[in-house]
Amino acid sequence: MGSTRIYKEIKLISIISLGGIFLGGLVFCISQAQQSIQDLRTDQALKEARDVSGELADEVRGLLLQEIGKGGFVNAVKVCSESAQKITKRFNERPGHIGRRISLRHRNPKNIPDDYERRKLEEFDLLNHERRLGNDYFEVVKEDGLEYLRYMKPLIAIPLCMNCHGPKENIPSEVRIILSEKYPEDRAIGFRVGDVRGAISIKIALPLRQPKDK
């Protein structure tokens, strides 16, 4: 009788252990599935941010080159001050994201960075100085209980930029006149080739997380 009782107890313990292993595996699988869903949210938002950033940069660059070909850098200033803002406004009409160009040394007040963007731009300057600056950066942040993908793509000053954003003495006089008229508090000059001139900033609201099973 004693051995039978011991056998039954061992059998019961085995069943309980197997049940625990099964439940543990089930919880792990559910957790992994939920994690995959969360990763998918970020992946989709990141793709959209990169697409929007690329389209915005390409369209502004295309307009600049087109206007330079028509009337030199005087026309290009008009594109930067007017057309670029219209382009960003059009992008922002798409639901779910906000996109704009920003800079620590802005020309248009609409390009003043928020606190998050300012911190990142300062990091970009440091990374660029250390020759460690990447092509783009992103992270998921919480604001007012909601999650957002914050994406930023550094804008690096190239030789073409120097005609409107370079050292004051190197900017054509006719361009300086227009800048002083349109932007009397202009801060977007004095850059050198290779400097971080600013960034394209995209902010996308992420879908709500799926509630976890308790």
Count of structural domains, the chain: 1
Within a domain: 8 = no
Within a domain: 124 = yes
Within a domain: 128 = yes
What residues pair up with 198 in beta bridges, in sequence order? 155
Segment 74-110, tens digit of pLDDT: 878 876 667 777 877 887 887 777 999 999 999 989 8
Segment 138-190, tens digit of pLDDT: 999 999 889 999 999 999 999 989 999 999 999 999 999 999 998 999 999 99
Tell me what pLDDT residue 10 has.
Answer: 53
Mean pLDDT of the chain: 82
Segment 44-69, tens digit of pLDDT: 999 999 998 998 888 888 888 888 88
What residues pair up with 165 in beta bridges, in sequence order? none
Q: Phi and psi at residue 150, in whole multiples of 5°?
A: -105, 120
Within a domain: 176 = yes
Within a domain: 52 = yes
Work out the pLDDT band at 196, boundaries 50, 70, 90.
Answer: very high
- Please give the residue range of the domain that contains residue 179: 36-205
Nearest to 102 by CA among 127, 122, 131, 83: 122
Contacts of 104 (CB under 8 A, 6+ apart): 113, 118, 121, 122, 125, 198
Instruction: Give the containing element (helix H, strand E) for 101.
Output: strand 97-102
